[in-house]
Amino acid sequence: MQHSNSFPDWHGTTILAVAKDGKTVIAGDGQVSMGATVVKGSAKKVRRLAGGKVIAGFAGATADAFTLLERLEAKLEQYPDQLARACVDLAKDWRTDRYLRRLEAMLLVADKDQIFTVTGMGDVLEPEIAVAAIGSGGSYALAAASALIDFDLTSEEIARRAMKIAGDICVYTNGSLTVETLEG
């Protein structure tokens, strides 16, 4: 994967966040691919941070993502219960630090009140509706979850159905899900 200054198009994962009725869910598939080969089907790309108050999912290079998750954890310790500030500070460091700006990953981060997509381009994006997605199957999962959000379904049911749809379309997404939930 070459480093570029454009918004990255990650192949190999799907991460989806859905918030509804006081519950926020982040779901991630488990497929790890190298080119056209699946090397692992049950990777955990969704983690709890800040003593379980924050959920984060990642797409991109795993070692890079772990570095970013560690940095985010430190920002959350520096700014307790201030997810937006922690994400903005991480994005600022990510964009300006010579080492960090070479990292090729994206984060989807949520607490009980907010969802953010954080990129190395300095973006901290909060969705207009309580649905966000990243990764190669992200567009499919986002479309499916957006279509399901107004139905009489829980956030977890929406996430699971949307991830199934994404997995049926995107060859880089499988049905081995990690699902983490926060209640408001």
Per-residue pLDDT tens over the stretch 24-78: 999 999 998 887 888 899 999 999 999 999 999 999 888 999 999 999 999 999 9
Burial 99-122 (b: 16+ CB within 10 A, else e): ebeebbbbbbbbbeebbbbbbbee
The whole-number pLDDT of residue 16 equals 98
Return d(Cα 61, Cα 118) in angstroms, integer: 15
Which domains, and CATH codes, for the chain? 19-170 (3.60.20.10)
Angle at 164 between CA 7 and CA 64, to 5 degrees: 35
Concerning whether 67 is annotated as a catalytic residue, the answer is no
Q: How many CB atoms neighbour CB 28 within 10 A? A: 32
Which segments of 23-137 does DSSP mark as H helices, in order?
Answer: 62-78, 83-96
| Contact criterion met (CB below 8 Å) for 141 and 147 | no
- Determine the average pLDDT of the residues in 148-170: 97
What six digits make up the tokens of 172?
């880089």
pLDDT in tens, 79-137: 999 999 999 999 999 999 888 888 889 999 999 999 999 998 889 999 999 999 999 99
* Residue 55 contacts residue 46 (beta carbons within 8 Å): yes
This prediction's pTM: 0.92
Catalytic site residue from 13, 14, 24, 117: 13
Tokens 């979850």 found at: 145
